Amino acid sequence: MEKSKVLIVGGTGYIGRRIVKASLAQGHPTYVLMRPDIGLAVDKIQMILSFKAAGARVVEASLDDHRSLVDAVKQVDVVVSAMSGYQLSRQLKVVDAIKEAGNIKRFLPSEYGIDPARMEHALAPGRITFDEKMKIRRAIEEANIPHTYVSAGCFAAYFAPNLSQLGTLLPPKEKVQVYGDGNVKVAFMDEDDVGTYAIKTIDDPRTLNKTVYLRPSENILTQMELIAKWEKLSGKFLEKIHIPNDEFLASMEGAELFHQEAVGHFHHIFYEGCLTNFDIGDGAEEASLLYPEVQYTRMDEYMKPYL
Ligand SMILES: NC(=O)c1ccc[n+]([C@@H]2O[C@H](COP(=O)([O-])OP(=O)(O)OC[C@H]3O[C@@H](n4cnc5c(N)ncnc54)[C@H](OP(=O)(O)O)[C@@H]3O)[C@@H](O)[C@H]2O)c1
């Protein structure tokens, strides 16, 4: 089967750049949207040039110029969005363009995290992410756009080497804050694998109009299991400080908005188990079962460079 042509929106972003690389690696004709407001963002320009050197085509279009977006969308079969968590509602413009273009066989909106459909009860202010993702889902479904929602679990760089400590990305040296008993199961994902699995879904009839969860069995770990892996790698024992849920939630009070959002998300992930506390039923698939050929990265391997 001929590989679909893919347009990536948000392709210079943290996860977007990995999706671009995965698309090229899997042999898809790959188009990267370049916005005119790129301005002096020299790193983005250089990244786009590196994509071009690797075989991607650069498409100039603005989210504020509907016509240019429709023209961009018409060049491809599939659109993958990796727009920032703070710009999610701007994807409505992409949805409008896809609706008008009428040729798109699959759209992946920017998701790649906790499944927003399971977060009706989520805490403010962090719930805004889920509400916005749901708003995009509703627009997609109302327009009958063929889609796949990729629910990715925790991006490892933000959650694994720091042993899921807030406010740092580096491993703790002496003590580690443990959420409750630390025995809630969490899904950790190497970000390159997120890109690989996302692109795997786009031409797959099994994932049409479904949610695909990234929950490879060996990356489903409790925080205590993650800590044990790091202790084994580093040969160093860490003092564990267990934080009860109510004490953790109280740390939101008076904190900056960003911290409040993070505490809410950590609460859902580490106390409630929102990434793993349900079975993957009808209307959904699990990526590592669909694509057993993918050699996903295990967390001890991921953490080794941090030694
Ligand atoms: N599971 C996890 O642990 C986790 C962690 C972080 C994020 N996420 C999710 O992953 C997705 C992508 O997040 P990210 O961290 O990769 O995003 P990001 O790097 O912050 O940004 C992605 C892209 O969004 C576009 N963008 C940013 N500001 C814009 C603006 N003002 N106007 C138009 N476009 C703008 C840019 O696209 P250009 O390339 O066009 O410049 C940027 O490269 C989100 O849905 C987020 O919720 C999940």
Whether residue 59 sits in one domain with residue 204: yes
302 falls within a domain: no
- Name residue 177's beta-bridge partners: 241
- Rounded Cα distance between 285 and 67, Å, is 35
For a mutational test of ligand 1's pocket, the pick from 19, 83, 86, i.e. the residue with the most ligand atoms closer than 8 A to its C-beta, is: 83
Give the pLDDT confidence of 44-77 residue by residue, as tens digits.
999 999 999 999 999 999 999 999 999 999 999 9
- Rounded Cα distance between 190 and 211, Å, is 19
Residue 85 has pLDDT above 90, yes or no: no
Whether residue 149 sits in one domain with residue 14: yes
Whether residue 163 sits in one domain with residue 65: no
Pocket of ligand 1 (CB under 6 A): 10-16, 33, 35, 44, 63, 82-85, 87, 90, 110-113, 129, 152, 154-155, 158
Q: How far is the CA of 232 from the centre of ligand 1 (A)?
A: 34
3-state secondary structure of 8: strand
Q: How far is the CA of 215 from the centre of ligand 1 (A)?
A: 22
301 falls within a domain: no
Whether residue 72 sits in one domain with residue 39: yes
297 falls within a domain: no
Residues 6+ positions from 69 with CB-CB distance below 8 Å = 61, 62, 63, 93, 94, 96, 97
User: Is-catalytic flag, 21?
Assistant: no
Q: How far is the CA of 212 from the centre of ligand 1 (A)?
A: 20
Give the pLDDT confidence of 223-265 residue by residue, as tens digits.
999 999 999 999 999 999 999 999 999 999 999 999 999 999 9
Structure tokens at 110: 């920017």
53 falls within a domain: yes
Which residue's alpha carbon is at the smallest distance from atom 46 of ligand 1?
Answer: 85
Provide the pLDDT for residue 229. 98
Whether residue 208 sits in one domain with residue 260: no
Give the CATH number for residue 92.
3.40.50.720
- Phi/psi at 244 (5° precision): -65, 155
Looking at residues 107-131, what average pLDDT do you find? 98
Whether residue 125 sits in one domain with residue 13: yes
- Of 21, 133, 200, 229, the active-site residue reads 133
Provide the pLDDT for residue 125. 97
- Domain region containing 251: 157-185+219-272
Whether residue 201 sits in one domain with residue 265: no
Whether residue 205 sits in one domain with residue 258: no
Q: Based on the structure, what is the number of domains in the chain? A: 2
The three-point CA angle 201-143-33 to 5° equals 55
Q: How far is the CA of 181 from the centre of ligand 1 (A)?
A: 32
Give the CATH number for residue 268.
3.90.25.10
Whether residue 110 sits in one domain with residue 225: no
The three-point CA angle 119-192-131 to 5° equals 20
